[in-house]
Amino acid sequence: MDTTPSGIETPTTAQIEVAAETFRMLSSSTRLLIVWFLVHEESDVTGLAEASGASVQAVSQHLAKLRLAGLVSSRREGRRIFYMVDDPHVVTMVSEIFDHIAPDGSLAPDPEPRPAGPLRAME
């Protein structure tokens, strides 16, 4: 891995390519919504279709792409397949982006900085 003049390690070409592909997978609003739902709870295709307003066929195709990209995993329970996001990096990434965007679509204000120094004892 190369470094910049200030000593920061530069990502490898492989890292850049995989990161770009991950963001490409999440650039579809339907896929991003599906991942958001799965960050919060596991679901089957029918539940995701109802929650997202997409057809079962469309959700199934999106899930296949997300699984292939390693963003979603699944488990079988009888005849049903349940999908989930169990990679903590994906959970953090999706949670952070929605923390960064206000409900009206504008950028959310930055949180208040924490005061430096030791914490004051509670009175």
pLDDT string in tens for the chain (123-residue length)? 678 888 899 999 999 999 999 999 999 999 999 999 999 999 999 999 999 999 999 999 999 999 999 999 999 999 999 999 999 999 999 999 999 999 999 998 877 777 765 554 444
Let me know: does 36 contact 94? Beta carbons within 8 Å: yes
**Would you tell me how many other CB atoms lie within 10 Å of the CB of residue 96?**
10
Residues paired with residue 123 on neighbouring β-strands, in sequence order: none
Domains of the chain: 13-100 (1.10.10.10)
Q: What global pTM score does this model have?
A: 0.82
Let me know: does 66 contact 52? Beta carbons within 8 Å: no
Question: Dihedral sign, CA of 111, 22, 20, 55?
Answer: negative
